Amino acid sequence: MPDQVLFAMEVTLNGLMAGVLYSLVALGFVLIFKASGIFNYAQGVMALFAAATLVGIMDGQVPFSHLINAIFGTDLHHFGWHVPALLAIVLTVGVMIVLAWLVQKLVMRHLVNQEPIILFMATIGLAYFLEGLSDLMWGSSIKTLDVGLPQGINDTIDRVTFDAFGYGFFIDNLDIVAAIIAALLVIALMAFNQYTKEGRALRAVADDHQAALSVGISLNFIWVLVWSLAGFVALVAGMMWGAKSGVQFSLSLIALKALPVLMLGGFTSIPGAIVGGLIIGVGEKLFEFLIGPMVGGATENWFAYVLALLFLVFRPQGLFGEKIIERV
Amino acid sequence: MSEMAAEQITADGRRIGPVVMEMKNITLRFGGVVAIQDISFDIREGEIRAIIGPNGAGKSSMLNVISGFYVPSEGEVWYKGARRPAMKPYMVARQGIARTFQNIALFEGMSVLDNVMTGRLTRMNSSMWSQALWKGRAEAEEVANREIAEKVIDFLEIQHIRKTPVARLPYGLKKRVELARALAAEPTILLLDEPMAGMNVEEKEDMSRFILDVNDEFGTTIALIEHDMGVVMDLSDRVVVMDYGKKIGDGTPDEVRNNQAVIDAYLGVAHD
């Protein structure tokens, strides 16, 4: 097989893996949007916050240590223990649930029945607040996240492809794990949505608040649940991205990469978020590989947005979104 | 009216039991507007109780007070012999008060069956995890709930549209689906907000039949609001008449029909 084709195959595979990570972030958006019609700008920062919290708990960091030290003149930094990864993840889930509850209690509850744009603005505020809170709690230095996920080249794939084509593909183990986790997460979310009464209630709330109240659904509870789910998805995304490129501020910017994914997949579709992520992932890697050299490279920075723009023009509801029908 | 026996049998053989809900001196204000002014009445088990009155009389407000969507500014709501504290509409629903809306509030994106199943939400107890895993008690519960939902669907003759997304249904059928969802909760009291609004004569007859059958078959207590005097008089056991937020009449259809204040409110009276 010619080298070009082999390279393209490898690039495609890597694109798929990167796409999974985009999908993970997009999933968080879809969850909240479906259930409450809010476009949660803070989703990326939630991923950052979750990852920073996870690292902080694992390393036994004292939360707000700078603040405490500044006020009381102490010199606290570490508790001096290390929490095992699994326990730390459980604790972080707990923190995200508390956060969800606070968001609902302090912000969203007071904005019921407001225009979507107002809710959107509130989530922008939330994003900046969370960013600051994350820095204040855990410090703003770049941290490495090691929850024991395998990293580096997958030897099996390398060997098999080398035997078959005479060229070993480079696939990162972390990407494979991320893909598996994303798949499990999606299956779990779909099962939750379809088969539990909370899932049914969630769909009901998304559809009509008044009717939901009349059949005995607590809007408050459902919204806390949704924000918790989004927090959980943010944690998973934060873990994957954090393990890949370190826990740092730029993590919150992956939220922007999720936007084109959503425009492709539609804001209301969980499978759409997955497929959209894969298309963007593969698309931008292949485009960079094939067209990049002709235009001087760095196409990955803009390809996703241009693709999203094309979708906005020709299919504004995305691939899987509910068709927008305007009755006159 | 409080002189009535604790239990009585109507002419057509239905049992009307003791008072299940009592509104005591309800007043509801929105800023300076008084929507309901010092109104008291009761609802007895098994009866069809109508609230009528001209536009803007405060009927819907009264229904919203009963279902917890509005909290009265003054007065007390007594339910099953105890004073009901101010509570959220979803809590009221969980206590066994189901309702429909004047402007239909259905889950448009879901199928008819799913909509009716949401009516069962208050009756489901098994945990999220067992349901997600679809095992044991959760499964049995889902089947039992499904059975009741199907029974209601059969009863209201909407089997043929079970799987149709609600958004595609015509108005009359939507009204019926909404009734089905409320019924699926097996409510103690069923509140109907203008169940026949915007219907043609034939649809009105159908709906009247369903209301009577529901009351007859399940013994459901029904409180309804309606514009159409003819329909109300045929359907209900007792009628409350409201005008400008005040109660101007209360009694059997015959009593109300001959009440001068009611006649004035409906036909208009010369003010001089």
- Cβ–Cβ contact B108 with A under 8 A: yes
Which residue, B54, B35, B51, is CA-closest to B43? B51
Question: What would the mean pLDDT of B18-40 be, rounded to a whole number?
Answer: 93
Taking an 8 Å cut-off on Cβ atoms, the answer to whether A197 and B124 are in contact is yes
Q: Provide the CATH number for the domain formed by B8-267 in this structure.
A: 3.40.50.300
- The per-residue pLDDT for range B173-206, each reduced to its tens digit, is 999 999 999 999 999 999 999 998 888 888 889 9
Q: What is the spatial distance between Cα B247 and Cα B261, in angstroms, rounded to a whole number?
A: 10
CB pairs under 8 A between A and B: 88
B140 CA: distance to closest CA in chain A (Å)? 13
Using alpha carbons, list the distances in angstroms from residue A266 to A203, A219, A315, A320.
17, 24, 10, 6
Residue B1 has pLDDT above 50, yes or no: no
Identify the bridge partners of residue B165 per DSSP, sorted by sequence position: B111
Residue B117 has pLDDT above 60, yes or no: yes
Give residue B130's pLDDT band: very low, low, confident or very high (50, 70, 90). Answer: low
- Nearest chain B residue to A197 by CA distance is B121
Residues in chain A: 328
- What percent of chain A is predicted at pLDDT more than 70? 97
Q: Which two tokens stand for residue A81?
A: 């223990």
Q: Higher confidence at residue B98 or residue B268?
A: B98
B255 CA: distance to closest CA in chain A (Å)? 33
To test the contact with chain B by mutation, choose from A33, A113, A197, A232 the residue with the greatest count of B C-beta atoms within 10 A, namely: A197
Taking an 8 Å cut-off on Cβ atoms, the answer to whether A191 and B89 are in contact is no
Domain boundaries, chain B: 8-267
Question: What would the mean pLDDT of A285-297 be, rounded to a whole number?
Answer: 88
Q: Which amino acid is at B186?
A: E
Q: Higher confidence at residue B89 or residue B8?
A: B89
User: Over A85-122, what HEC string results?
Assistant: HHHHHHHHHHHHHHHHHHHHHHHHHHHCCCCHHHHHHH
Q: What is the spatial distance between Cα A82 and Cα A94, in angstroms, rounded to a whole number?
A: 18
Q: Which residues of A are less than 8 Å from B117 in CB distance?
A: 200
Q: Write down the pLDDT at residue B187.
A: 94
A5 CA: distance to closest CA in chain B (Å)? 44
- The per-residue pLDDT for range B137-159, each reduced to its tens digit, is 677 888 888 999 999 999 999 99
Residue A324 has pLDDT above 80, yes or no: no
- Nearest chain A residue to B139 by CA distance is A195
Q: Write down the pLDDT at residue A132.
A: 92
- Nearest chain B residue to A188 by CA distance is B132
Query: B 53-72 residues with CB below 8 A of A?
Result: 67, 69
Q: Write down the pLDDT at residue B182.
A: 95
Question: What would the mean pLDDT of A321-325 be, rounded to a whole number?
Answer: 64
- Nearest chain B residue to A221 by CA distance is B90
Give residue B127's pLDDT band: very low, low, confident or very high (50, 70, 90). Answer: low
The most confident of the ranges A128-132, A136-140, A250-254 is A128-132
Q: Write down the pLDDT at residue B70.
A: 93
Residue A172 has pLDDT above 80, yes or no: yes
B208 CA: distance to closest CA in chain A (Å)? 22
Question: What would the mean pLDDT of B260-270 be, rounded to a whole number?
Answer: 78
Give residue B2's pLDDT band: very low, low, confident or very high (50, 70, 90). Answer: very low
- Cβ–Cβ contact B186 with A under 8 A: no
Give residue B16's pLDDT band: very low, low, confident or very high (50, 70, 90). Answer: confident
Q: What is the spatial distance between Cα B59 and Cα B66, in angstroms, rounded to a whole number?
A: 11
- The per-residue pLDDT for range A249-278, each reduced to its tens digit, is 888 877 777 888 888 888 878 888 889 999
Which residue, A178, A181, A139, is CA-closest to A53? A139
B266 CA: distance to closest CA in chain A (Å)? 31
Q: Which residues of B are less than 8 Å from A191 in CB distance?
A: 132
Place of tokens 């009694």: B251
H-helix or E-strand spanning residue A5: helix A3-36
CB-CB neighbours of A135 under 10 Å: 16
A226 CA: distance to closest CA in chain B (Å)? 14
Taking an 8 Å cut-off on Cβ atoms, the answer to whether B89 and A188 are in contact is no
Residue B60 has pLDDT above 60, yes or no: yes
B164 CA: distance to closest CA in chain A (Å)? 16
To test the contact with chain A by mutation, choose from B95, B97, B106, B107 the residue with the greatest count of A C-beta atoms within 10 A, namely: B107
Give residue A194's pLDDT band: very low, low, confident or very high (50, 70, 90). Answer: confident
Please, what is the Cα angle at A250 between A258 and A290, to 5 degrees?
60
- What percent of chain B is predicted at pLDDT more than 90? 57
Q: Write down the pLDDT at residue B80.
A: 92
Q: Write down the pLDDT at residue B270.
A: 66
Q: Write down the pLDDT at residue B99.
A: 94
Q: Write down the pLDDT at residue A181.
A: 87
The mean predicted confidence, pLDDT, of chain B is 87
Q: Write down the pLDDT at residue B136.
A: 66
- Nearest chain A residue to B134 by CA distance is A195
Q: How many CA atoms lie within 13 A of B99 on its CB side?
A: 32
Q: Higher confidence at residue B135 or residue A147?
A: A147
Burial zone of A30 (CB within 10 Å; 0-12 exposed, 13-18 middle, 19+ buried): buried
Helix (H, G, I), strand (E, B) or coil at A325: coil
Q: What is the spatial distance between Cα A242 and Cα A51, in angstroms, rounded to a whole number?
A: 7
Residue A166 has pLDDT above 50, yes or no: yes
Q: What is the spatial distance between Cα A236 and Cα A198, in angstroms, rounded to a whole number?
A: 22
- The per-residue pLDDT for range A18-64, each reduced to its tens digit, is 888 888 888 888 888 877 778 888 988 999 999 999 999 999 888 88
Q: What is the spatial distance between Cα A276 and Cα B156, in angstroms, rounded to a whole number?
A: 43
Taking an 8 Å cut-off on Cβ atoms, the answer to whether B118 and A204 are in contact is yes
**DSSP symbol at A196:** S
Torsion of CA A110, A112, A116, A118, to 10 degrees: -20
Q: Write down the pLDDT at residue B74.
A: 93
Q: Which residues of A are less than 8 Å from B121 in CB distance?
A: 197, 200-201, 204, 215-217
Residue B37 has pLDDT above 80, yes or no: yes
Residue B247 has pLDDT above 80, yes or no: yes
DSSP letters along A288-320, please?
HHHTHHHHTS-GGGTHHHHHHHHHHHH-TTTTT
Taking an 8 Å cut-off on Cβ atoms, the answer to whether A197 and B131 are in contact is yes
- The per-residue pLDDT for range B211-237, each reduced to its tens digit, is 999 999 888 999 999 877 788 888 999
Q: Write down the pLDDT at residue B200.
A: 86
Contact B234, B35 (CB under 8 A): no
H-helix or E-strand spanning residue A237: helix A219-245
Q: How many CA atoms lie within 13 A of B58 on its CB side?
A: 26
**DSSP symbol at A141:** S
Residues in chain B: 272
User: Over chain B, what HEC string results?
Assistant: CCCCCCCEECCCCCEECCEEEEEEEEEEEECCEEEEEEEEEEEECCCEEEEECCCCCCHHHHHHHHCCCCCCCEEEEEECCEECCCCCHHHHHHCCEEECCCCCCCCCCCEHHHHHHHCCHHHCCCCHHHHHHCCHHHHHHHHHHHHHHHHHHHHCCCHHHCCCEHHHCCHHHHHHHHHHHHHHCCCCEEEEECCCCCCCHHHHHHHHHHHHHHHHHHCCEEEEECCCHHHHHHHCCEEEEEECCEEEEEECHHHHHCCHHHHHHHHCCCCC
- Nearest chain B residue to A213 by CA distance is B90
Q: Higher confidence at residue A317 or residue B4?
A: A317
- Cβ–Cβ contact B94 with A under 8 A: yes
Contact A145, A55 (CB under 8 A): yes
Q: Is the ipTM of this complex over 0.90?
A: no
Taking an 8 Å cut-off on Cβ atoms, the answer to whether A207 and B107 are in contact is yes
Q: Write down the pLDDT at residue B141.
A: 81
Using alpha carbons, list the distances in angstroms from residue A247 to A143, A149, B178, B207.
5, 15, 50, 62
- What percent of chain B is predicted at pLDDT more than 70? 91
